[in-house]
Amino acid sequence: MTVFSNPAFDNHERVLFCRDEPTGLCAIIAIHSTALGPAAGGTRLWTYAEDDDALYDVLRLSQGMSYKNAMAGLKFGGGKAVIMKTPGFDGSDALFERFGEFVDTLGGDYITAEDVGMSVEIMETIARKTRYVSGLPLKSGRAGGDPSPKTAYGIYHGIRAAVQARLDRHDLEGLRVAVQGVGHVGYYLCKLLHDAGATLVVSDLDEARVDRACSEFGAERVGGPDILSADVDVLAPCALGAILHEKSIPEIKARIIAGGANNQLRSREDGQRLADAGILYAPDYVINAGGIINVACEYFGDVDDEGVMDLVAQIGPRLAEIFDEAQRTGEPTNVIADRKAQEIITAAA
Ligand code: NAD
């Protein structure tokens, strides 16, 4: 396993390997940058084929959080954690409590919340051992709780901005949108899009989740990877990352890609490939910042739930600026977003 020479290392400040034999905990916490404030980013619970895959994932996600928090105007640096579902993993309270103790050893330099595979209930278990946790149950009128509805709300505003920029349309009526992954974020996004009159095409590895989207929103089901080449106006990846690459991009028919999954591009060059193919790409960490905005408001306790919605809606205009610059300069949108994020972090450091 390579750490310092890992292709995703990118000058991380700290990487903590967490192992607890009695509970079976195997986790990695990565802190990419604390220049803007404590490193904040969710914990992912996932099965990895190799330890290297987990390390690569957490490093990429953590760097993405630095950029996401910077672009969202938050007083947060970037960090992320993964808990590995190893053989015999039992998801016991003791395991998550032990993870909470590891988070606590960092003294507030890392604040955790939900990511794929986690829940509000698990966050409450972690919170028994550390106060550096967010995404806890919502107190009436206050910011907090499951961040995914806010993430979906931000993506919805991002899609509207992209549709205006690329299709010159102000509404989503009759627009065809393919949503890959109808879990937490994908489900709430489908609801918003359905209410706005869009027609949905969906896929998920979990057939029950597809059934729910079909029955509640009249969505059409598509099997497996075919969702990426569906005949739609907008593709909204809301499952896992690295789905946009040299093989998948030529198959894409959508003119816009705007969804919630982190690290959608397999490599930075894929942004150029999308631009060359005439596809408008909403940089993932800009469009999916709604959840972390909610987490920040909960953690700092300075904005109520209504205020969070207003802040999340700003994702639309923020993306519109990037689309505008891409139109003027011909640069890929991911390159513009990376530059803007790096400028904010460098100025703070
Ligand atoms: P989730 O686990 O609730 O849902 C993900 C869904 O994707 C699951 O239903 C899973 O079965 C499905 N899936 C996995 N691989 C698939 C594939 N190849 N094809 C089709 N479906 C597949 O997770 P979530 O919280 O909804 O997060 C979804 C994505 O959004 C992740 O990349 C996550 O990192 C990102 N994200 C989530 C939030 C949030 O607030 N939850 C915030 C920002 C970014």
Q: What is the CA radius of gyration of the chain?
A: 19
Catalytic residue among 68, 80, 150, 340: 80
Ligand 1 closest atom vs CA 284:
44
As a whole number, the mean pLDDT across the chain is 96
* pLDDT tens readout for residues 235-247: 999 998 899 999 9
From CA 296, how far away is CA 181, in angstroms rounded?
25
The average pLDDT across 33-43 equals 97
Mutate to test the pocket of ligand 1, among 61, 122, 148 (most ligand atoms within 8 A of CB): 148
How close is the Cα of 348 to the center of ligand 1, in Å? 31
Are 200 and 220 within 8 A, CB to CB?
yes
Burial of 208 (0-12, 13-18, 19+ CB in 10 A): exposed
Q: What percent of the chain has pLDDT over 90?
A: 90
Query: Cα 298 vs. chain centroid, distance in angstroms?
Result: 18
Cβ–Cβ under 8 Å, residues 202 and 186: yes
Tokens of 64: 């993405």
Tens digit of each residue's pLDDT (9 = 90 or more) over 163-193: 999 999 999 999 999 999 999 999 999 999 9
pLDDT score recorded for residue 132: 96
Give SS3 for 16: strand
Q: What separation in Å is there between the alpha carbon of 241 and the centre of ligand 1?
A: 9
> Which residue type is seen at 295?
V
User: Which residue puts its alpha carbon closest to atom 38 of ligand 1?
Assistant: 148
- Quick one: pLDDT at residue 137? 86
pLDDT, residue 268, reads 93
Residue 5, classed as helix, strand or coil, is: coil
Residue 5 buriedness (CB in 10 A; 0-12 / 13-18 / 19+): exposed
Cα–Cα distances in angstroms (integers) from residue 126 to residues 115, 133, 294, in the given order: 14, 7, 19
Residue whose CA lies nearest to ligand 1 atom number 30: 261
Query: When comparing pLDDT for 111 and 225, which is higher?
Result: 111
pLDDT band (50, 70, 90) for residue 253: very high
Residue 238 alpha carbon to ligand 1 centre in Å? 5
Residue 185 alpha carbon to ligand 1 centre in Å: 7
What's the pLDDT score for residue 36?
97
* Mean pLDDT, residues 112-118 taken together: 91
Residue 154: its pLDDT value, please? 98
pLDDT digits (tens, 9 = 90+) for 132-142: 999 888 777 77
Q: How sure is the predictor about 37, in pLDDT bands with cuts at 50, 70 and 90?
A: very high
Is pLDDT above 90 for 65? yes
Written as one letter, the residue type at 320 is: A
- DSSP string computed for 21-41: TTTTEEEEEEEEE-SSSSEE-
Which atom of ligand 1 is the closest one to the Cα of 241?
32
- Dump pLDDT digits (tens) for 193-206: 999 999 999 999 99
> Is-catalytic flag, 68?
no
Task: Give me the domains of the chain, ranges plus CATH numbers.
Answer: 14-62+77-126 (3.40.50.10860), 148-288+316-346 (3.40.50.720)
Beta strands 256-257; 280-281: pairing state: parallel
Confidence of residue 143 (pLDDT cuts 50, 70, 90): confident
Contact present, 331 and 271 (Cβ < 8 Å): no
Burial string for 47-78 (b: 16+ CB within 10 Å, else e) reads ebeeeeebbbbbbbbbbbbbbbbbbbebebbb
pTM, two decimal places: 0.93
User: How much is the pLDDT for 144?
Assistant: 83
pLDDT value of residue 212: 98
Task: State residue 141's pLDDT score.
Answer: 76
Residue with CA closest to ligand 1 atom 2: 116
CB-defined site of ligand 1, < 6 Å: 114-117, 147-148, 151, 180-181, 183-186, 203-206, 209, 238-241, 260-262, 288, 291
Going from the Cα of 349 to the center of ligand 1, the distance in angstroms, rounded, reads: 32
